[in-house]
Structure 1
Amino acid sequence: MATFFLIMIYLSFISLGLPDSVLGAAWPVIQAEYGAAFGMAGVINIVIASGTIVSSLMSGALLKRLGTGQITLISCLITAAALLGFSFAPSMIWLMVLALPLGLGAGCVDTALNHYVATHYQAHHMSWLHCFWGVGATLGPIIMSSFIRDHDLWRNGYLTISLIQFALVVLLAFTLPLWKRMENIQSHAVKESQVQQSRGQSEQPLRTKGVKLTLLTFLFYCGAEASVGLWGSSFLVNEKELPSSVAAMWVAMYYGGITVGRFITGFVTFKVSNRVLIRSGLLVAFTGAALLMFPLPTFCSLIGFLLLGLGFAPIYPCMLHDTPERFGKEQTKKLMGYQMAVAYTGATFLPPLLGWLATQTTISILPFFTAFYIAFMLYGSERVNRITKQQAARSEMI
């Protein structure tokens, strides 16, 4: 029963990833149909992410009242309905209206499942959970590419993805009693540890040295990941002169790199520390961004997108999992909330900012901005490592 329940959690995270990468893959075709400005994809992304932030902030109260199973079911239903609406949207205004419930549905299920896995399962499951998000994020552009390849049928792509979401809703509805049973069983297992953590919890974790730099690292990571996903297809179409369908497939390979990387990371965490994985991932990602900067043969761009995906793979789950090690278990509960909020903020504002700048200049700035984000993350991560190492040394001396 426990294994089947874990499979349901992973399937739910696939549904979270499915719509995340579709807008960027379909945007060149959507933009042409509506005659919209290039940067409007960034505006839609802001609306989606704003809904995600709002629902994430509300998720704590909703979890207490409804539980993880019902939150996941309702969130997937809202997401499926919004995607169905996308497939029939007659204008850009309707896309923006439907973007809000799409974000609201995503935020609740993301926060609920991350909290549940972090509380009830071992560390490697966090990497595998985000690996399954990557499965959804990879399938999204592949599905969309198959519909826009010959006839630019992006609406059919959204319709297909919404039907997949509705199928998951039906499955979640049938398994809802299992969610309630497992939550009751596992809640007793962690009750004592939660009481112990609450006794030593810091009231002002933001005053802890290194926390603010860590939050900026989360901001730039999610901004970089979302920017490449949203504007990667447009970069390949406008700068590398690839067909829209091919560009969508290449962006799918970027998400495929994230997916495969996180699957492998789940095993590597048994032998390699989070900090080494974060450092290695950033260096690989920087190499991928560098390949996109220069006028190299076209296949180098594909390699660049793959390296970006593989490099990004371990960063987010490893940073989340390393929070207790860096700042102490007593502060982790609050800091997790702060980190998620800042991460969504980066995904909300950095991609449209880049889109606005690209409208004023050219989309060729994408790899340069990505490289800058990665360089800052490397500096921030290594600086926090030094701070926490010094603090640990002082504690031992005392």
Structure 2
Amino acid sequence: MASLLLGVIYLIFVSLGLPDSLLGSGWPQMQAAFNVPSSYAGYVSMTIAFMTIISALLSPKLIQRFHTKWIVICSILLTIVGLFGFSLCTEYWMLLIFAIPYGLGAGAIDAAMNNYVASHYSGAVMNFLHCFYGVGAMISPYIMALALKTARWNEGYRWTAFLQTGILLVVLCSFPLWQQNEQHEESKADTASAGIKEAIRQRGVITTLLAFFAYCAGEATCFLWTPSYFAGTRNGLSEETIASFGSLIFGGLMLGRLLAGMAANRFGDRLMIRIGAVVELVGIVLVMLPTAGYQTAAVGFVVIGTGMGPIYPSIQHMAPANFGQRYSAAVIGLQMAAAYTGTTFMPTVFGLLQQSFGIWIMPYYLLVFAVLNIGLLELTYQKLRNQIR
């Protein structure tokens, strides 16, 4: 029973990744279809992320009131509505409307599942699960590329919605498996009842939130703009090839989390984050190299994703140990809100900057946030030095 439930949770993490890379992969063609500036992708991304922030901030209360399985069901359903809605859009403003359920479906499930896994499973499991998020995020650019080759971008969203519907049916069938941990969740309800206002005052929480903001600013910029980076800096590439480059960062994330899952229990969360940061910096340098072909930059984005891989799940997994079970759900909800604040604004800021300076500045933009992320995390460790590890 336990292994079956873990298998369902793996599938849920695949579903978390499926919607995230579609916009970046499809945007070059969507931009042409809607006849809008390239930076308008940022407004869609910003709307999705803003709604995710709202649902992430609501997640502590939802986790207190409902079992995780119900949050998962409702969240996947909202995502399906958003995906089908995108597939029906014929005007740009319609994307902004359907971005609302698209984003609401992401925040609460992300916070709830990360809190659930951090409370019940090891750091290795957390990294493996986030590796499966990378599987979902890597699949969808190829779905979009196939749609562009055989139909049009709308079908990429529609086919992904069908996949999400299948995952929803599996989760519905798995209800009996969740009962083994439901009593455990109920027994922790009182000790994990701290609210957001109380949690944010705990030592190290603010710097952790800022670090999460910086990390997701870089990650989301890669999610949205990697295909456009190749379209703007390399000549002679087909539309299908450019769309498939959206999978580079996600393939790297998947690889990084797979490797981290093998090593996390031995090295611990903090060392995994430090190793990941160094690898990410190496990848950024590779993208910066002035090469004529696309191969070195493509490898660079894979390396960036590999380095990013362990950072997100390790920060999430540390929450109960760093701040205690009482604050865990609220802190993870705040972390998700901070993460999606970075996701909301910073890809849009990059979109405006690249219109003025050129998309070639992307690796330099990523470098700023990589340095901020690791610097703020090191500051957090100092603040927590005298607290329970």
Q: Would you call these one fold, judging by a TM-score over 0.5?
A: yes
Partners of 1:170 and 1:321 lie apart in 2 by: 28
1:372-387 superposed matches below 5 A: 372-387=368-383
Q: CA RMSD in A?
A: 2.4
1:355 to 351, 354, 368: 351
**Matched letter for residue 345 of structure 2:** F
Find out whether 1:371 has 2:367 as its counterpart. yes
**What is the identity, as a one-letter code, of the residue corresponding to 2:227?**
S
Q: Does the alignment pair 1:265 with 2:264?
A: no
Name the residue aligned to 2:319.
323
2:238 is equivalent to residue 243 of structure 1: yes
Residue of structure 2 aligned with 1:228, choices 202, 222, 226: 222
Give the 5 Å matches for 1:21-100. Answer: 21-100=21-100
Match of 1:337 among 330, 333, 337: 333
Greater than 6 Å deviation, 4+ residue runs:
none
Contact 1:202/1:330 (CA < 8 Å) preserved in 2? no
Counterpart for residue 205 of structure 2: 211
Q: CA deviation at 1:306?
A: 0.7
Q: Structure 2: how far apart are the matches of 1:16 and 1:146?
A: 21
Q: Secondary structure at the match of 1:232?
A: helix
Contact persistence 1:134–1:256 (CA under 8 A): yes
CA–CA separation in structure 1 for the residues paired with 2:249 and 2:56: 26
Q: Using the alignment, how far apart are the partners of 1:118 and 1:388 within structure 2?
A: 19
Aligned-residue offset at 1:93: 1.1
Q: Pairwise mapping of residues 266-305 of structure 1 onto structure 2 (< 5 A)?
A: 266-296=261-291, 297-305=293-301
1:235–1:364 Cα contact (<8 Å) kept:
yes
Cα distance in 2 between the residues matched to 1:353 and 1:87: 26
How far is the alpha carbon of 1:279 from its aligned partner? 0.9
DSSP 3-state at the match of 1:286 = helix
Give the equivalent residue in structure 2 for 1:307: 303
SS at match of 2:290: coil
On the 8 A contact 1:24/1:233 being kept in 2, the answer is yes
1:118 is displaced (CA, Å) by 2.0
Query: What does 1:93-242 align with in structure 2 at a 5 Å threshold?
Result: 93-148=93-148, 150=149, 153-176=152-175, 178-179=176-177, 182-183=178-179, 185-189=180-184, 195=190, 204-241=198-235, 242=237
Return 289-298 or 367-376, whichever deviates more: 289-298
SS in 1 for 2:67: helix
Structure 1 gaps, min length 5: none
**Structure 2: where are the runs of 5+ without partners?**
none
* Shift in CA distance, 333/116, structure 1 to aligned 2, threshold 3 Å: closer
SS of 1:231's partner is helix
CA–CA separation in structure 1 for the residues paired with 2:350 and 2:338: 18
Q: CA deviation at 1:65?
A: 4.8
Deviations 1:130-153 (A, max 9, x none): 1111111000111111222x4672
Cα distance, 1:198 vs structure 2: 6.4
Highest Rg: 1 or 2? 1
Q: Deviations over 1:358-384 (max 9, x none)?
A: 122211121111011001112222233
Structure 2: distance between partners of 1:105 and 1:198 = 23
Following superposition, the deviation at residue 324 of structure 1 comes to 4.1
Q: Shift in Å at residue 299 of structure 1?
A: 0.9
Q: How many residues align?
A: 386
Contact 2:277 2:370 in 1 (8 A): yes
Secondary structure of 1:144's aligned partner: helix
Partner of 2:9: 9
What TM-score do the two structures reach when normalised by structure 2? 0.91
1:105 maps to a residue whose letter is G
Q: Which amino acid aligns with 2:259?
A: I
Asked if 2 retains the 8 angstrom alpha-carbon contact of 1:78 and 1:105, the reply is: yes
Asked whether the 8 Å contact 1:233–1:244 carries over to 2, the reply is no
Paired residue type of 1:157: G
Tell me the percent identity: 34
Instruction: Between the two structures, name the one with larger relative contact order (CA 8 Å, sep ≥ 6).
Output: 2
In 2: Cα distance, 1:62 partner to 1:273 partner: 30
Report the CA distance between 1:260 and its aligned residue: 1.9
How far did 1:170 drift?
2.4
Is the 1:217–1:381 contact (alpha carbons within 8 Å) kept by the matching residues of 2? yes
**Which amino acid in the other structure matches residue 318 of structure 1?**
S
Query: Aligned-pair distance for 1:64?
Result: 4.8
My pick for the range that moved more, 320-329 or 350-359, is 320-329
Question: Would the aligned equivalents of 1:13 and 1:132 in 2 still touch at CA under 8 Å?
Answer: yes
Per-residue Cα deviation, 1:211-254 (whole angstroms, up to 9, x for no partner): 32221110010111010110111001111233332122222022
Give the secondary-structure state (helix, strand or coil) at the position aligned to 2:267: coil
State whether residues 60 and 330 of structure 2, in contact with CA within 8 Å, keep that contact through their aligned partners in structure 1: no
Deviation at 1:41, TM superposition (A): 0.5
How big is the shift at 1:286?
A: 1.1
